[in-house]
């Protein structure tokens, strides 16, 4: 797992709010990078596991701790 498709793999992952015309692109990159961190832990924790078992581990992570996602926040909402 890597960050090769990310425009700015060294982005500040503490920034969680974005504005401007590319706000959703910035948010998408941030959640991708944050979820990559989670995935990099799932892999070693399940070394030698089948794809099905890794998928199950990922779903368990999502169910137990959640994963990152982006959402619109509208002023006055």
**H/E stretch holding 62:** helix 51-65
pTM: 0.78
User: What's the rounded mean pLDDT across residues 10-25?
Assistant: 91
Please, which pLDDT band fits residue 73 given cuts at 50, 70 and 90? Answer: confident
Look at residue 24 in the predicted model and tell me its pLDDT.
92
Between CA 72 and CA 45 the distance in angstroms is 33
Domain ranges for the chain: 35-69
Look at residue 61 in the predicted model and tell me its pLDDT.
97
Unique residue bearing structure tokens 């137990």: 64
The model's pLDDT over 41-63, given as tens digits with 9 standing for 90+, comes to 999 999 999 999 999 999 999 99
Look at residue 72 in the predicted model and tell me its pLDDT.
84
């Amino acid at each position: 797992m890597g960050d090769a498709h990310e425009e700015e793999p060294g982005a500040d992952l503490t920034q969680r709010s974005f504005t401007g015309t590319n706000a959703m692109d910035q948010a998408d990159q941030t959640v991708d990078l944050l979820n990559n961190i989670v995935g990099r832990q799932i892999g070693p924790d399940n070394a030698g596991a089948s794809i099905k078992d890794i998928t199950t581990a990922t779903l368990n992570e999502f169910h137990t701790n959640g994963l990152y996602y982006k959402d619109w926040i509208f002023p006055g909402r």
